[in-house]
Amino acid sequence: MHTQKGDFGYIGAYKKKRVLLAAILGVMIACVVAGTIYMYGDTKHVIIVCAILLVLPFAKQLIGLITVLPYSSIETETYNMLKELIDADQPGLMFDLVLSRYEGMMFYPIVLVRNEKVYAYVRDKDFEEKKKTYQSWIEQTLKDSYDCPVKILDSMDAFIKKANQPVSGDETVRKKDRYIKERLMASCV
């Protein structure tokens, strides 16, 4: 099954894809260079341009891998517990979001968009110091499109409590929730 952005385990699948593509491109570059040296005795031939052209996509894959390397999904046991306590397939629940902006990247293991509000669960040993930063990243991501309250939580119990709140039956609210989710997903790696 193909893991998509926002699905549980996305960050691991993203890393595997980047490693595989970087390895393939690295082998291709090595083969072109080795083949050129074997056939001509040096690299002063036009065919080496193929290896040079492959370096840029190779570097892109490595950069994509390096930027997400420090992040990991929540544990499978935690995910399974979440599935039992809340509907893990509900439309506003997203996993493994790495928000990307020109200042850098910020990782949110679980994000829930519900009733025009955003709730994010964060695992960080310096949570109290960085709480405002985590909150402002989501607010800045949404500021040009939609202004909504953002609540950052470091307790799984508090997150589950928010996730179990009733969903609004108003179609306008659900439409805004979908829009907020799409906007967050568009800003993710």
Which helix (DSSP H) or strand (DSSP E) does residue 114 occupy?
Answer: strand 104-114
pLDDT confidence of residue 43:
86
Q: CA 22 to CA 59: how far, in whole Å?
A: 8
Predicted TM-score (pTM) of this structure:
0.84
Token pair, residue 105, equals 């990247």
pLDDT in tens, 108-130: 999 999 888 999 999 888 888 88
Q: Residues 148-178, buried b or exposed e (16+ Cβ, 10 A)?
A: bebebbbebeebbebbeeeeeeeeeebebbe
Contact criterion met (CB below 8 Å) for 148 and 117 = yes
Per-residue pLDDT of the chain (189 residues; tens, 9 = 90+): 688 998 899 999 999 999 999 999 999 999 999 999 999 998 888 989 999 999 999 999 999 999 999 999 999 988 888 877 776 556 788 999 999 888 888 999 999 998 889 999 998 888 888 889 899 989 988 887 778 899 999 888 888 888 888 777 788 888 888 899 999 998 898
